[in-house]
Chains A and B, each alone.
Chain A
Amino acid sequence: QQPVQSPQAVILREGEDAVINCSSSKALYSVHWYRQKHGEAPVFLMILLKGGEQKGHEKISASFNEKKQQSSLYLTASQLSYSGTYFCGTEWGDYKLSFGAGTTVTVRA
C-alpha cells in the first residue's frame, strides 16, 4: 500500500526551510528518503528504522514517529541543489519498498 506524501509540491527561496511528510496506514519497519533529479536515478538520503536507528547524509535530517506511522524530512537552509523530487519509501520488514507519489521541491535564488 502506497504511503501518502505531502505536500505535493513546494517552492522555496534559498535559505528557507521546508518539511515533507510521509504517512503509512500499516506499521512500518523502516522509512527511506530519496531525491531524484530529472532524468536521473533516485539518490539515497536517509533511512530511519523502527527502534530509532538511522543513517543519512549530514545535511539532511528526518524523524520517524513509530506510533503514528509517520516520517518527516526536514530541508534546512535550502540550497539550489536541493531542487528535485523527494520520495519516501516505506518497508514493512520484507525488504520491499513502497514509494509515495513524491514531493517536487523547487529552490529559487
Chain B
Amino acid sequence: SAVISQKPSRDICQRGTSLTIQCQVDSQVTMMFWYRQQPGQSLTLIATANQGSEATYESGFVIDKFPISRPNLTFSTLTVSNMSPEDSSIYLCSVDQPLEAFFGQGTRLTVV
C-alpha cells in the first residue's frame, strides 16, 4: 500500500493569486494523478504526472492554469494559477498501485 501526504489540507486565497499543492508518497511510483472535486460533484481528472516528462492534461485543463511538477518518483506539485472563485474545489492527488489506487487527504481550496 502507499501512504500519501498532501498539503496544505486547506487554504483560503485571494482571487488572482496562485497556490501550490504538494503531494508526497512514501514509495516510488511511476504515475501520479491530480483530480479536482467541485462542491457536491464527482472527481475529475486534471492531469497525469510522470517523472521525467511533461504532465498529460485532460480536456478542459491547460498547463498555464495548472502547472505540474514531478521532480522525482515520490513527489509532485500542482499549482492553481491566477485563481478565481470558480477554482474553489477539493484537489486530490492519487497514485495507482497494483490492484488499488490511493488518494491523498485532499486540499480544500476556497477562493475569495
Residues of A within 8 A of B (CB): 2, 32, 39-44, 47, 49, 53, 55, 87, 89, 95-102
* A contact patch SS: loop
What are the residues of chain B within 8 A of A102 when measuring CB–CB?
42
The reply to whether B42 and A44 form a contact with Cβ atoms under 8 Å apart is: no
The reply to whether B96 and A95 form a contact with Cβ atoms under 8 Å apart is: yes
> Which of the segments B14-22, B64-72, B81-89, B102-110 contacts the partner chain?
B102-110
What are the residues of chain B within 8 A of A99 when measuring CB–CB?
42-44
Partner of A96, one of B48, B100, B104, B108: B48
The reply to whether A47 and B99 form a contact with Cβ atoms under 8 Å apart is: yes
Chain A CB within 10 A, most for which of B45, B100, B101, B106: B101
The reply to whether A32 and B45 form a contact with Cβ atoms under 8 Å apart is: no
* B contact patch SS: strand
- B92 nearest CB neighbor, chain A only: A41
What are the residues of chain A within 8 A of B45 when measuring CB–CB?
96-98
- B1 nearest CB neighbor, chain A only: A44
Inter-chain CA distance A100–B106, complex, in Å, is 19
Partner of A87, one of B43, B58, B100: B43
The reply to whether B104 and A41 form a contact with Cβ atoms under 8 Å apart is: yes
Given the known interface contacts A2-B42, A87-B42, A102-B42, the answer about A97 and B105 at a Cβ–Cβ threshold of 8 Å is no
B31 within 8 A of A: yes
The reply to whether B33 and A44 form a contact with Cβ atoms under 8 Å apart is: no
Q: Mark B40-56, 1 if CB is under 8 A from A, else 0.
A: 01111100100000000
